[in-house]
Structure 1
Amino acid sequence: MLDPAARRVLDAPLARAAGALDRPWLSPDRLTAAGLVLGLGSALAAGLQAWTAALVLWLVSRLADGLDGPLARRRHAAGAPGGAGSGGFFDITADFCVYGSTVLGVAIGATRGFDAPWEPFAVVLLAYYVNGTAFLAFSSIAERAGRQLDDGRSLSFLGGLAEGTETIAVHALWLLLPAIAWQVAWVWAVVVAISAAHRMWIGYRSLR
């Protein structure tokens, strides 16, 4: 829901940052890989209950994830050869790895450190699975049907109540306030489930 507004605010600063980072040795895929490694490190730190380290790693990971696209677009505008979508594929796959592993890491850390129940985190993972299936399936079928949505990203994204901006904020809240992470997880699971149901309905209607 907040992604369009966040992109309007952040596109220009991220483009400037990508320009400052534009060096021959730093490719968009390497930025994606850095975001992946940092995100997995955040999940590990959360599982070990190193909450401050996990929060810092999470935020830096998401910054790297936000910079790979602007750098790729900058290189493409300069005439660099593209990868026929390989960068976009790597990016979305890395995102799913980071999101899922972070949920698992917070669940392990919260259950060990605060005797939190594991069920809300399992429901979040289920909601992520359904939500991801809905928008990835839509993106693939919409492209074949010539009904893709072009907002500058590699895939056709159906808007929803829970998008990237909300996910970054909720995961950061878990790491900032781990004692109440399981209560937040119940609320977040409902939000993601509503978003998944909305995407399923809108995607179905759009492809009819």
Structure 2
Amino acid sequence: MLDKWTTPLIQPLLRRAASGLKHHGIKPDQITITGFLVGIISIPLLAFEYYSLALLLILGNRILDGLDGALARLSSPSDAGGFLDITLDFIFYSGVVLGFALASPAKNALAACVLLFSFMGTGASFLAYAIMAEKHQLSDPNFKHKSLYYLSGLAEGTETIMLFILFCLLPDYFPQLALMFAAICMLTAAIRVWSGYHSISLAEKEKHQDSAT
């Protein structure tokens, strides 16, 4: 929900940083993989309750995630790079939740499971709609920089980053924060399923009408 406002603010900064990386011959996929490895290291840190250090790595992952896309757009974004980016993002998101579950299984595991369940809903609706949007040539003018087009919702990248920051700053409140965000994710998934179904259904009807005339 907040991505439409935060993206225009951070893109100029990312483009300037990406220009420097391009000058030194750095490739977008190298940034993607580096960012993923940085983020994954946060999992054992979270498990051993080194929350401040884990937060630094989580933020580092998010910065690098923005840089790889900005760097790709300076040349030409590739489908392979887009695939790698979104796949590793979903693994990283789930890994952070796993880290908190490992930190205190008795206290956090149930809330972590519920949150991962809700992530499945947002992730599935995200990717399934991206496939159908490509097939029916549906586009989104608000997110032209994305390799994959997807329906927006209440829980997107900005909200997820804010959640992870709160997790690390307020680890004792992980169950409450996780369940609250899980509810938002479930609502987002429901909105995407409903909107996506009707959007694709309308596109199919228009295609059939065009072929009949």
Task: Normalising by structure 2, report the TM-score.
Answer: 0.89
Report the counterpart of residue 103 of structure 1 in structure 2.
Answer: 97
- Conservation of the 8 A alpha-carbon contact between 1:139 and 1:148: no
Q: Secondary structure at the match of 2:124?
A: helix
Q: Give the corresponding residue for 1:26.
A: 26
Q: Deviations over 1:83-108 (max 9, x none)?
A: 4x100000000101100111101111
Structure 2 portions without partners, runs of 5+? 202-213
In structure 1, the partner of 2:84 is 90
Q: Aligned match of 1:187 in 157, 180, 193?
A: 180
Counterpart residue identity of residue 15, structure 1: R
* Shift, 1:144, TM fit: 0.9
2:117 corresponds to: 126
SS, match of residue 45 in structure 1: helix
Identity of paired residues, percent? 37
Matched, 1:66 2:59: no
The aligned amino acid for 2:119 is: Y
Instruction: Find the residue that maps to 1:26 and give its secondary structure.
Output: coil
Q: Which residue of 1 aligns with 2:9?
A: 9
Aligned residue in 1 for 2:211: none
Please tell me the residue identity of whatever aligns with 2:167: W
Q: CA deviation at 1:24?
A: 4.4
For the pair 1:203 / 2:196, whether they are aligned, the reply is yes
**What's the CA shift string for 1:52-94, capped at 9, x where partnerless?**
1100100011100010001011123xxxxx64x1000000001
Q: CA deviation at 1:157?
A: 1.7
Deviation at 1:149, TM superposition (A): 3.0
**Is the helix fraction higher in 1 or 2?**
2
In structure 1, runs of 5+ residues without a counterpart are 77-81
Over residues 164-183 of structure 1, what are the superposed CA-to-partner deviations in whole Å (9 max), with x where a residue is unaligned?
Answer: 01001101110111111111
Change (3 A) 1:110 1:178: farther
Distance 2:43 2:6 in 1: 25
- 1:36 touches 1:95 (CA, 8 Å); kept in 2? yes
CA contact (8 A) 1:162 1:191 kept: yes
**What is the rounded CA distance, in whole Å, between the counterparts of 1:169 and 1:44 in structure 2?**
21
2 CA distance for matches of 1:29 and 1:96? 16
- Contact kept, 8 Å, 2:118 with 2:182, in 1: the verdict is yes
Shift of 1:17: 1.1
**Does structure 2 retain, via aligned residues, the 8 Å contact 1:110–1:182?**
no
Give 1:161's match in structure 2, choosing from 149, 154, 160: 154
Q: Is the 8 Å Cα contact of residues 110 and 178 (structure 1) preserved in structure 2?
A: no
Give the structure 2 partner of residue 79 of structure 1: none
> Retained in 2: the 8 A contact 1:110–1:179?
no
**Contact in 2 for aligned 1:32/1:90 (Cα 8 Å):** yes
CA RMSD of aligned residues (A): 1.3
For the residues of structure 2 that align with 1:117 and 1:65, how far apart are their CA atoms?
27
